[in-house]
Amino acid sequence: MKLIFEKSVPGRHCDLLGKCDVAAAELPQKYLRATPPELPELSEVDVSRHYTELNQHVHGVNCGFYPLGSCTMKYNPRVDEEMAALPGFTAVHPLAPEAHTRGCRAVLDTAAQYLCEISGMDAMTFQPAAGAHGEFTGVLLIKQYHDARGDTARRKIIVPDSAHGTNPATAAMCGFEVVNIPSAPDGCVDLDALKAALGEDTAGLMLTNPNTVGIFDENILEITKLVHEAGGLCYYDGANLNAVMGVVRPGDMGFDCIHMNLHKTFATPHGGGGPGAGAVGCKEFLKPYLPASALMDGAGKKQVRAFAGNFLVVVRALTYLMTLGCEGVPEAAKNAVLNANYLMQRVKGTFEPAFDRICMHEFVLDLSEYKKETGVSALDVAKSLIDYGMHPPTMYFPLIVHEALMLEPTETESKQTLDWAADVFRKLYALGKTDSETMHAAPHHAQIGRPDEVKAARNPIVRWYNDSETETVRGAGN
Ligand SMILES: *Cc1c(COP(=O)(O)O)cnc(C)c1O
């Protein structure tokens, strides 16, 4: 499809407003452009069609199945958007006097109260704008806690090798040394490896449970106890709370602080890059170190972001929680787990699960044997799914499984959709055995098939260049 600049026709425009009937104010010369901006010239219908066409080239939850593991691409009820669009929420100024923002304060306080209840924490801040930002905030709490006690020799954060990449990155950004510990063959924390890593230099442990292979670590109480006995604190990466919300609480598992991605579990559409919210909760003793907007008084004065963070994401989360209620929240979690197990069982016998046991909200397929046999990789299968109108699962993550495909169907999909998805996987399994070439070349019906992903990530071209500029950009190796 053409860029909007390429669709431009000189002189074409759109007359919506009547002629201006007041005298034009002259701008001082120094504020005027020397040359007019290069804007596309189009009619309203051209613009409307352009964006509709763009819309048709992306895959969202509203287009079809989107089992992107770890990302919880579930359907977000419309009512959450409606609440977030209320003028009383959208038009409020962050510096408005307290008397004008009591409703907004009530939203923040109530959401904090519910999320503390769900996570088993005592205080909460909504300042962080995303999961990784929440981790950064949470690990800084751990750092300040040790520093305030003069316990400054604690320089190491333990991270299992199945962790999300943001965990070691966060620990390093907070100035800690990262100690990676291997997982046991069952995908859980290797207790011996943990014991060996613990010591007087341990600041804490960062853990996701259920972990990134979709398994609930049954030794969790033992794990958090061991860390506490060594003098460290336990950080729960609750980016995805979909399997446990309303069922089991990280606070009861022994964790001291947590972040929750409101944009994953609690109804803010995501995938396009934000805005999100990484709500950070902590136990009472860490409360003094929470950023300034922390609710439930007595919090410190620090800030990690302006004002109360992405407020409208909190409005959506609160609406979601209020509409589900204390019965709907655990029901959603249980259905997420049920759907993942159902799909895993329906696919099994073709592509095999990396860990053949009951999973939580997601599971990982291991295609390494299949690839040896057929030459068809996890990437080839992922690309082939696009031709069926299915978004590919998360690929090549977690790193401990080679040729991994990680599926998270979520609770908002019907049995029919899961059956259809399982059939697609089974068909592709058979196709790879007879016609691997077709799969190496997939997708066959997408706008963009196989971009150079490294180049797209490292040197993205995110703006339009005119002809002469394009030459300069291309020439520079971009
Ligand atoms: C998504 C995710 C993150 C990062 O969250 P962002 O909002 O993308 O920064 C961290 N940990 C886990 C386990 C996740 O699934």
Question: What pLDDT sits at residue 477?
Answer: 46
Is residue 435 within 8 A of residue 388, CB to CB? The reply is no
Minimum-distance ligand 1 atom for the alpha carbon of 261? 7
d(CA 101, CA 94) in angstroms, rounded, equals 9
Q: How far apart are CA 156 and CA 207, in angstroms?
A: 14
Inter-residue long-range contacts of 342-350, CB under 8 Å, 24+ positions, other chains counted: 342/415, 342/418, 343/67, 343/407, 343/409, 343/418, 343/421, 343/422, 344/407, 346/418, 346/419, 346/422, 347/422, 347/425, 347/426, 350/425, 350/426, 350/429, 350/430
Give the CA distances from residue 312 to residues 105, 276, 468, in Å, rounded to whole numbers and listed in that order: 12, 9, 42
Q: Could you report the per-residue pLDDT of 423-445, keeping only the tens digit for each?
A: 999 999 999 999 999 999 999 99
Sheet containing strand 233-238, edge to edge, reads 123-125, 278-282, 257-261, 233-238, 202-207, 156-160, 177-181
Q: Residue 257 phi/psi, 5° resolution?
A: -150, 165
In a domain, 441, yes or no: no
Residue 312 lies in a domain: yes
Paired sense of beta strands 233-238 and 202-207, if any: parallel
Q: Count how many domains the chain has.
A: 1
CA separation (Å) from 240 to 23, 164, 277?
A: 57, 11, 12
How does strand 233-238 pair with strand 257-261? parallel
Q: How far apart are CA 9 and CA 97, in angstroms?
A: 49
Q: Band the pLDDT of 319: cuts 50, 70, 90.
A: very high
Kindly report the pTM of this predicted structure: 0.90
Mean pLDDT of 261-288: 92
How does DSSP assign 425-473, residue by residue?
HHHHHHHHHH-HHHHHT--SSSSS----HHHHHHS---S---HHHHHHH
Instruction: Identify any residues that bridge with 180 across adjacent strands, giving them in sequence order.
Output: 159
Q: Which residue has the tokens 């999961």?
A: 131
Ligand 1 centroid from CA 131, angstroms: 5
Residue nearest to atom 8 of ligand 1 (CA): 131
Around Cβ 296, how many Cβ atoms within 10 Å? 18
Amino acid letter at 181?
I
Q: Is the CB of 261 under 6 A from ligand 1?
A: yes
pLDDT of 473 reads 63
Report the atom number in ligand 1 closest to the C-alpha of 130. 7
- Pocket of ligand 1 contains residue 162 by CB under 6 Å: no
Is 276 near ligand 1, meaning CB less than 6 Å away? yes
Asked if residue 340 is part of any domain, the answer here is no
208 CB within 6 A, ligand 1:
yes
Residue to mutate (ligand 1; options 162, 170, 237, 394; most atoms within 8 A of CB): 237
Lookup result for tokens 């979909």: 242
- The position carrying tokens 């090798």 is 161
- Indicate the DSSP class of residue 94: T
Q: Residues near 336 by Cβ (< 8 Å), separated by ≥ 6?
A: 74, 242, 243, 361, 408, 409, 410, 411
Query: What is the atom index within ligand 1 of the atom nearest the CA of 263?
Result: 7
Position in ligand 1 atom list of the atom nearest CA 264: 1
Residue 437 lies in a domain: no
pLDDT digits (tens, 9 = 90+) for 58-114: 889 989 999 999 999 999 999 999 999 999 999 999 888 889 899 999 999 999 999
> Which pLDDT score is estimated for 329?
98
Asked whether residue 273 is assigned to any structural domain, the reply reads yes
Pocket test residue of 166, 262, 313 for ligand 1, highest count of atoms within 8 A of CB: 166
- Alpha-helical (H) ranges within 121-274 are 131-148, 166-173, 191-197, 220-229, 250-253, 262-265
Mean pLDDT is lowest, of 108-112, 290-294, 324-328, 403-407, for: 290-294
Assigned token pair, 450: 């196989």
Quick check: CB of 256 below 6 Å from ligand 1? no
- pLDDT tens track for 342-363: 999 999 999 999 999 999 999 9
Closest CA to 181 of 173, 144, 171, 326: 171
> What pLDDT, on the 0 to 100 scale, is given for residue 456?
86
Q: Which domain holds residue 119?
A: 78-322
Q: Is the CB of 134 under 6 A from ligand 1?
A: no
Whether 159 maps to a domain, the answer reads yes
Band (36; pLDDT cuts 50, 70, 90)? confident
Nearest CA to ligand 1 atom 15: 70
Supply the pLDDT for residue 472.
66
What is the domain-level CATH number for residue 106?
Answer: 3.40.640.10
> Residue 461 is encoded by which pair of tokens?
């071209």
The residues, any chain, with a CB within 8 Å of residue 83's CB and separated by 6 or more, are 89, 315, 316, 318, 319
CA distance 369 to 375: 10
| DSSP for residue 28 | P
**Ligand 1 and 124: CB distance under 6 A:** no
- Which amino acid is present at 340? A
Q: Per the domain annotation, does 478 fall within a domain?
A: no
Q: Would you call 234 helix, strand, or coil by DSSP?
A: strand
Ligand 1 site, residue 240, Cβ cutoff 6 A: yes
The 10 Å CB-count burial string (b at 16+, else e) for 215-251 is bbbebbeebbebbeebbbbbbbbbbbbbbbbbbbbbb
Question: Taking all residues of the chain, what is their mean pLDDT, rounded to a whole number?
Answer: 92
| 460 within a domain of the structure (yes/no) | no
CB distance 326 to 161 below 8 Å:
no
- What percent of the chain has a predicted confidence (pLDDT) above 70? 96
Amino acid 57: pLDDT: 86
pLDDT of the residue at 150: 96
